[in-house]
């Protein structure tokens, strides 16, 4: 229903990001369905194949249990389609409202927004680990590699939209100053999350987790702190916006 609305509605999303999103959803559910903890190997285990060979899987999470890279593909594709779609939406909303936002600024906004969405999902998984003991989705390596996949997918999505969207070629080379409050609020809300995600990713890639001691609980605390900082900044920005409206009135 959501895809039909985006395709048929006023946004006129192109088909490509919708197909990427659809394939991502398909991979997610297929990956989780090929195996069950109480039934042994999944339905695609032929000729004596063992779990981990091709599409042969077992365990409660199916392909996620047998192939760790499956989760990274799903995360990367999801972020790519999200960033791609956001880029098209922001460009058209900007043009419709006469905001005069450059394509580079929209790419930055959409990259930050997409990575932040992925960060919020990791916070959700951390809450699951803390309160409901669902540790199969948690762990330092799983969480930070998810952040890396999200960042790479988001970068791919905004880069492709930057060159793919013909409407962006008509945009100004420099954004109007100040930015509309919707754009500045989005940046204020997402930059702390995006910065933390990139720092944690670089920490794993370059320092093997030295900054956080490769400790999942410490990573979770950093994630929660970034969400708290983001919330406080948003509250301050909304209060400032409200005060400005009162002064104008």
pLDDT for position 98? 87
Question: Is residue 130 classed exposed, middle or buried when 0-12, 13-18 and 19+ CB atoms within 10 A define those classes?
Answer: middle
**What is the predicted pLDDT for the residue at 115?**
95
- Name the residue among 73, 61, 72 with its Cα closest to residue 29: 61
Question: Would you place residue 72 in the very low, low, confident or very high pLDDT band (cuts 50, 70, 90)?
Answer: confident
Q: What is the C-alpha to C-alpha distance for residues 221 and 140, in angstroms, rounded to an integer?
A: 12
- To the nearest 10 degrees (0 to 180), the angle between helices 15-33 and 68-97 is 150
Summarize the confidence of residues 192-221 as an average pLDDT: 92
Distance CA 137, CA 184 (A): 33
Each residue of 75-111: pLDDT tens digit? 898 899 889 888 888 888 888 888 889 999 999 999 9
Q: In this predicted model, what pLDDT tens digit does every residue of 136-174 receive, in sequence order?
A: 566 888 889 999 999 999 999 999 888 888 777 788 888
pLDDT band, residue 223 (cuts 50/70/90): very high
Transcribe 16-40 into DSSP letters. Answer: HHHHHHHHHHHHHHHHHHS-BTTTB
Q: Mean pLDDT across the stretch 201-206?
A: 94
User: Is residue 87 within 8 Å of residue 162, measured between CB atoms?
Assistant: yes
Distance from C-alpha of 74 to C-alpha of 76, rounded to nearest angstrom: 6
pLDDT of residue 140: 86
Query: Phi and psi of 46, rounded to 5°?
Result: -105, 150
Please say whether the beta carbons of 147 and 118 come within 8 A: yes
**Model confidence pLDDT, tens digit, residues 2-52:** 555 555 555 566 677 777 777 777 777 776 666 665 566 666 666 766 666
Please give the residue that has the higher pLDDT: either 57 or 224.
224
Of 238, 236, 228, the residue nearest 181 (C-alpha): 238
């Amino acid at each position: 229903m959501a895809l039909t609305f985006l395709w048929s509605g006023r946004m006129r999303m192109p088909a490509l990001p919708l197909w990427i999103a659809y394939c991502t959803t398909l991979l997610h559910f297929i990956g989780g369905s090929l195996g069950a903890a109480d039934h042994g190997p999944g339905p695609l285990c032929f000729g004596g194949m063992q779990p981990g060979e091709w599409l042969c899987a077992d365990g409660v999470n199916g392909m996620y249990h047998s192939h760790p890279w499956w989760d990274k593909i799903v995360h990367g594709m999801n972020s790519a389609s999200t960033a791609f779609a956001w880029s098209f939406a922001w460009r058209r909303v900007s043009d419709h409202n006469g905001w005069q936002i450059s394509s580079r600024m929209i790419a930055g906004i959409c990259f930050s927004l997409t990575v932040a969405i992925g960060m919020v999902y990791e916070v959700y998984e951390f809450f699951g680990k803390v309160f409901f003991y669902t540790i199969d989705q948690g762990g330092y390596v799983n969480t930070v590699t998810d952040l890396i996949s999200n960042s790479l997918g988001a970068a791919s999505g905004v880069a492709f939209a930057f060159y793919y969207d013909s409407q962006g070629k008509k945009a100004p080379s420099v954004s109007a100053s100040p930015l509309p409050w919707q754009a500045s609020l989005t940046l204020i809300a997402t930059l702390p999350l995006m910065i933390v995600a990139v720092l944690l990713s670089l920490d794993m890639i370059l320092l093997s987790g030295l900054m956080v001691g490769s400790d999942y609980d410490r990573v979770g605390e950093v994630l929660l702190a970034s969400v708290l900082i983001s919330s406080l900044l948003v509250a301050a920005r909304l209060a400032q916006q409200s005060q400005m409206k009162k002064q104008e009135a």
